[in-house]
């Protein structure tokens, strides 16, 4: 049975079988914990049901592609996860180019269906603090509207973050998705929450990805999210990606379409400012 009163150090010791000799930011999640022998690990608590299981399954699934590296999982249960700590360095163009190549290989590893969860992962998962349902589908435009755009639009309208009259613009995008989505593509193996904060530039010159909301999806969604909040050397990342796996014509016009999902998630979690960005993205998609 999991002890609800555990701190990160106690959880790390129990899950790794090693004594803890120190910790930093012990009240935070994730926290840095030092194990005997000097090994530093990251300890993360997941209070929502299934959150840790979803993240661990995502890390295993992404790692199994042998493409972009992820931190090794050193132990976990339903509430706690212990992973290796990645020493970080400074982003550089060469690492960005390699990251683009590796991200293309990750996507090419594929998924059984759009919305497919990682093996062993729950259907009811999370993107950040927001619930995210991994319900499989075979048709990307209809699946994206039903499971990635409309649920968060409804949540934002219910919260008063998006006004009903504004919601019609986004609903119009969903209606036109079959025409706006570009050529059909097979399901890609997505990180699912690929913003700059989840990209670690390792001191060894290699990128690691953390905090996945992994599922089967359209590869342009990961790329659009990477561009949403700023990423060092993003042009080099995209150049490397396109060298390894050219994108379908018109991909630049579809960036706003794919950014609707994370922007609406942020509108639900953080308020009105992101609603305005989502409406702008929707209008751009309709104009494109």
What's the distance, Cα to Cα, between the start and end of the chain in Å?
54
pLDDT computed for residue 27 by the predictor:
59
Task: Give the residue among 68, 44, 256 at the shortest CA–CA distance from 170.
Answer: 256
| Whole-number Å distance between alpha carbons of 247 and 65 | 20
| Whole-number Å distance between alpha carbons of 101 and 104 | 5
Q: Tell me the per-residue pLDDT of 236-277, one tens digit each, with 9 for 90 and over.
A: 999 999 999 999 999 999 999 999 999 999 999 999 999 999
Please enumerate in sequence order all residues whose Cβ is within 8 A of that of 156, keeping only pairs 6 or more positions apart, or say none.
162, 167, 264, 267, 268, 275, 278
Q: Tell me the per-residue pLDDT of 169-216, one tens digit each, with 9 for 90 and over.
A: 999 999 999 999 999 999 999 999 999 999 999 999 999 999 999 999
Catalytic residue, chosen from 193, 211, 222, 235, is: 193
| Whole-number Å distance between alpha carbons of 208 and 197 | 11
pLDDT computed for residue 1 by the predictor:
45
In the chain, where does DSSP find H-type helix? 8-16, 51-64, 93-108, 140-144, 150-158, 164-180, 219-228, 234-244, 255-270, 272-287
Q: Tell me the per-residue pLDDT of 19-57, one tens digit each, with 9 for 90 and over.
A: 999 887 655 679 999 999 999 999 999 989 999 999 999
Q: Tell me the per-residue pLDDT of 120-177, one tens digit each, with 9 for 90 and over.
A: 999 999 999 999 999 999 999 999 999 999 999 999 999 999 999 999 999 999 999 9
pLDDT at 5 over 90: no
193 annotated active-site:
yes
pLDDT at 63 over 70: yes
Over range 272-287, report the average pLDDT. 94
Computed over every residue of the chain, the mean pLDDT equals: 95
| Whole-number Å distance between alpha carbons of 276 and 267 | 9
Question: Residues 139, 218: contact at Cβ < 8 Å?
Answer: no
**List of domains in the chain:** 8-84 (3.30.200.20), 93-287 (3.90.1200.10)
| Whole-number Å distance between alpha carbons of 259 and 149 | 10
């Amino acid at each position: 049975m999991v002890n609800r009163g555990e701190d990160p150090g106690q959880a790390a010791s129990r899950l790794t079988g090693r004594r803890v000799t120190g910790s930093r930011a012990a009240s935070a999640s994730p926290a840095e914990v030092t194990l005997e022998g000097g090994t530093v690990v990251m300890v993360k608590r997941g209070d929502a049901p299934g959150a840790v299981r979803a993240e661990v399954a995502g890390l295993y699934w992404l790692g199994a592609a042998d493409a972009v590296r992820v931190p090794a999982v050193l132990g976990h249960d339903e509430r706690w996860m212990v992973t290796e700590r990645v020493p970080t360095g400074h982003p550089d163009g060469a690492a960005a180019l390699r990251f683009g190549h590796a991200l293309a290989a990750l996507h090419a590893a594929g998924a059984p269906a759009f919305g497919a969860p990682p093996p062993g992962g729950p259907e009811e998962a999370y993107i950040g603090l927001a619930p995210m349902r991994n319900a499989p589908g075979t048709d990307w435009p209809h699946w994206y509207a039903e499971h990635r755009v409309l649920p968060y639009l409804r949540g934002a309208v219910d919260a008063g973050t998006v006004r009903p009259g504004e919601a019609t613009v986004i609903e119009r995008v969903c209606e036109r998705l079959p025409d706006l989505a570009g050529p059909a593509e097979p399901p890609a193996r997505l990180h699912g929450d690929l913003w700059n904060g989840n990209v670690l530039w390792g001191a060894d010159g290699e990128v690691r990805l953390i905090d996945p909301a992994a599922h089967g999806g359209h590869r342009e969604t990961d790329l659009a999210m990477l561009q949403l909040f700023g990423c060092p050397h993003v042009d080099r990342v995209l150049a490397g990606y396109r060298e390894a796996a050219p994108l379908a014509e018109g991909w630049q016009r579809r960036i706003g379409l794919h950014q609707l999902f994370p922007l609406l998630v942020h509108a639900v979690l953080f308020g009105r400012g992101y609603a305005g960005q989502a409406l702008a993205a929707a209008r751009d998609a309709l104009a494109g």
